[in-house]
Amino acid sequence: MTANGCVEGKVMVVTGAGRGIGREIALLAGRQGASVVVNDLGGGADGEGPGSIGPAQEVANEIVAAGGAAVANTDSVADPAGAEAIIRTAVDRFGRIDCVVNNAGILRDRIFHKMSVLDFEQVVKVHLFGSFYVSRAAANHFREQESGAFVHFTSTSGLVGNFGQANYAAAKMGIVGLSKSIALDMARYNVRSNCISPFAWSRLIGTIPTATPEEEARVERLKTMSADKIAPLTVFLCGDGAREVTGQIFAVRKNEIFLMSQSRPIRSVHRDGGWTPESIGEHLLPALRSSFYKLERSGDVFSWDPV
């Protein structure tokens, strides 16, 4: 444990913390002085299969063995009662809750015309509804103590685009809106809310299709980006050193940290007397066409090798 770490004395909940990015966040938070609720259902990457306390307990044991404080939890973020139980675990075990990291997620990638209703609903349920349920369970605690921090995980699959991930992209863009709303609504109580879009190899990323040489090259780049690179910014955003940072979207790519743009007007056209479908075609298209966004994927925008 690091003496006088940036989250010294804080109580943190990290969902999906049994493996991958969540695991690295929980371990670093423990080393930085936080008491950590290590939440993980222990199921498969697609949300199927029996749950297990094993992954969460292993991480909690590792934190404790290093001199930190941690407890394992296997409640589901996709259930409101489970989310309440996650936060209650923090309060019952450590006396309060200071930080929530909404990292838990599943993937069920399908090309859109083959995506089932269940595939869409289950991914949105875990990512978006789960982020809401856990955040809402913590909100009254944050309000009463007039402090708190949320860090939610979004993705460039939503911010930019990707094939076969309509469910995941929709959920991740929803999380951006959720985070901004929390930041606005709870600023009066000194509560902060930010998003991180991570680039890191994990068992979820391992489901990305590699049907073309370009896709294979992208996956090989991802394999060089380890999950531990995401943890420092996450833990920093939970600490008092980030007290002025809220409503932002960051991306982390190996040793690179990006502040991502948010939707704002970029061009406009005006026509006295209003518009008709015909005048839109004659006037608007020529005026705005050069500013239209290309139909790009995350890999097209982040095309260089990670630094």
Is there a catalytic annotation at residue 168? yes
Under DSSP, the state recorded for 304 is S
Catalytic residue among 133, 168, 189, 293: 168
Residue written as token pair 């959720």? 178
In the chain, which residue ranges form alpha helices assigned H by DSSP? 20-31, 54-65, 80-94, 117-124, 130-145, 156-159, 166-186, 213-223, 231-238, 277-279, 285-288, 298-301
Q: Collect all residues with Cβ–Cβ distance below 8 Å to 203 and sequence separation of at least 6.
A: 19, 20, 45
Helix (H) or strand (E) holding 188: none
Q: Is the distance from CB of 168 to CB of 207 less than 8 angstroms? A: no
Number of residues assigned to the chain: 307
Residue 13 forms beta bridges with which residues?
Answer: 37, 100
Is the dihedral angle over the CA atoms 63, 227, 246, 153 positive or is it negative? Answer: negative
Q: Which are the catalytic amino acids?
A: 168
